A and B are shown apart, each in its own frame.
Chain A
Amino acid sequence: MNTFLKSFLLFCFVSANAVASDLIMARSPLSFSEAMTNLQVSLREHGYTVARVQRIDVGLTGMGYKTDMYRVVFVGKTDEIKYLTNKYPEMIPYLPPKVSIFAEGGDTLLVTANPMAFAMMVDDEKDRIIFQRWESDVYSVFDDFRRAE
């Protein structure tokens, strides 16, 4: 399957009418810092590496905007990231997967794209299992996040 076809398939997948599973979201009543800690613990417990936490709001506040706390967490499993970027270089702009975490009042929200969106870019059936597992893990991590007290 060539690069164009893979990209086109992913495009078709995401372009279909948005249904609830395109984005996975969760709300926690915990403060931002507590929720962030819980998120990272849960990700690690599920075997993922938190590669980096990118601040989104720092530049905005520096420019005088009023913002809430906002971070993007880059996550993945090292071997899988290496494997996928080598075998499917056209997926690189979407890797590593990212999770947004931001404050909303006293609550904290999590958002990420459903990893199964990426599965359309791979032509090897056994590679799709990676994304199925990611999806399952995302739901599990987000359940942890939602239930944390």
Chain B
Amino acid sequence: MIKFTVLFFLLIVSGIANAAPDGKALFDKHCSACHGSEGKGGVGVPLSLPSFINSVSNEYLNRTIRVGRPGRIMPAFPQLSDAQVKAIVGHVRSWTDMPMVKFDSTPVTGDKKNGKELFLKRCAQCHGEDGKGGKGTGVTFSRKRDLPIIAPALNNSGFLASASDMMIKNTLIHGRDGTPMVSLLKAGLKEKDINDVVAYVRSFQKLETTSISDEKNGAAIIVESPYSLEETVENLKQAIENQNFKLIRTDYLEHGFVDEGKENKKQVVLHFCNFNFLFEALSIDPRVGMFLPCRVTVVEHEGKVQMMTINPMRLSKLFNNDGLNDACKAMTETYESILEDASL
């Protein structure tokens, strides 16, 4: 009887272990926040758009999940098993009744010089002269809700590693209905011209550069103040105003955690904002709000008064969004100016 019980238990455990991963559950957990529960898009692209899902191969989706799009929000998912990735792709594929397309891996050869001319004339308006793609993401702040997609970055190493030449060619030939991507064949190009464009797009592979290589070290910007805590707070208020930012609120770090009046008075937080800057940042990436509005904390610790902020230069990496680079650089310089002004 014990043997049968053990055998039964092992069969159950084995069954659980060998059960195919639930693609929908995995998609809900890992993908739906950006792509929407039904793949209609949001921060991420609309995967269920028929002209998209019917024109990409499973291999393309699989590799995209694996390598992501460095600097373009879509993260890599190295922690998922092959079976889990396959299950997610299977779930995405369930949104269409059309047969899955397959592309062979034969490279497309063409004249890159002619391809560049055609690209600049036909493609650069949306994809950028160097194929860096459209600006911004999401439908929350950066674009109208009736715009389904932002032009992808064709020079992205993740895209180039995922898309075969034949897939790119197929997209150029057929376009993507429901998006601004038109058929270049219908637009008058011949197949040879399209091959030339493919060859030019493939040449981006060696051009892509990594972003922010000259970041300043440090998770935080910390400047010591020669003034008392109270004087430093007043100096900061003036410095914030001098930088055309609006002071929203001054409170203690422990505000809300302890009863009013019992906060640590040696940790003061100044919250401030420039609404043009705020809107610009949220337009580039609606997720950055967790680091907004801007904050400087003044801390008196072991006899020293220090002013501290986050280091924005690190955020574009955290959010995997190179589009934030310029805004982060500007914000870092602003923080540094404010802290310097206040400590003079």
Contact = CB atoms under 8 A, between A and B. Distances in A.
Contacts of A49: 256-257
B118 interface: no
Contacts of B264: 82, 85
Nearest to B292: A56
B289 A72 contact: yes
Give chain A's interface secondary structure class: mixed
Interface size class of B (residues with CB under 8 A): 35 or more
A15 B76 contact: no
Given A20-B76, A93-B295, A146-B28, A56 B289 contact: yes
A75 to B, nearest CB: 9
Contacts of A25: 33-34, 287
B161 interface: no
A52 B276 CA distance: 24
Contacts of A81: 253-254, 257
B134 interface: no
B318 A93 contact: no
Contact of B79 (A19, A82, A102, A105): A19
B318 A92 contact: no
Contact of B319 (A18, A56, A67, A107): A18
Q: Which of B70, B78, B139, B140 has the most CB of A within 10 A?
A: B140
A85 B289 contact: no
B8 interface: no
Interface stretch (B122-130, B201-209, B309-317): B309-317
Contacts of B139: 104-105
A38 B141 CA distance: 24
A23 B318 contact: yes
Contact of B75 (A7, A20, A29, A95): A20
Interface of B: 28-30, 32-34, 36-37, 42-43, 68, 70, 75-79, 138-141, 145, 215, 217-222, 246, 248, 253-258, 264, 267, 271, 273, 275-276, 278-279, 282, 286-287, 289-293, 295, 297, 299, 301, 306, 308-311, 314, 317-320
19 contacts: A7-B218, A7-B220, A11-B215, A14-B219, A16-B317, A17-B76, A18-B75, A20-B76, A20-B79, A22-B318, A25-B34, A25-B287, A27-B36, A59-B248, A59-B278, A63-B276, A72-B290, A82-B254, A92-B308
